[in-house]
Amino acid sequence: MKKLLPSTIFTILFSLIINCFTNVSAIGLDGNPRFTYLDMHQGIRTYLDKSSLVLLQNDGKAVVFAYTTTNAKMDGTITRYSKPITMKHNWSDPLNIVYYKNDNGLWTRQDMDITAHYMWTTKAAFCSGYELLLGKKYPYTPKYTR
Domain boundaries, the chain: 4-134
pLDDT in tens, 31-44: 778 888 888 888 88
What pLDDT is stored for residue 108 in this prediction? 94
Give the pLDDT band of residue 146 (cuts 50, 70, 90).
Answer: very low
Helix (H, G, I), strand (E, B) or coil at 104: coil
pLDDT in tens, 41-96: 888 888 999 999 999 999 999 999 999 998 888 887 887 667 889 999 999 999 99
What pLDDT is stored for residue 9 in this prediction? 58
Buried residues in 110-123 as b, exposed as e (16+ CB within 10 A): bebebeeeebbbbb
Q: Check whether 115 has a pLDDT greater than 50.
A: yes
Q: What is the pTM of this model?
A: 0.73
Helix (H, G, I), strand (E, B) or coil at 47: strand
Higher-pLDDT residue of 26 and 64 is 64
Cα–Cα distance for residue pair 138/66, rounded to 1 Å: 16
What pLDDT is stored for residue 22 in this prediction? 44
Cα–Cα distance for residue pair 28/43, rounded to 1 Å: 16
What pLDDT is stored for residue 100 in this prediction? 92
Burial of 129 (0-12, 13-18, 19+ CB in 10 A): buried
Beta carbons within 8 Å of 89's beta carbon, 6+ residues apart: 62, 63, 95, 97, 98, 99, 126, 130, 138
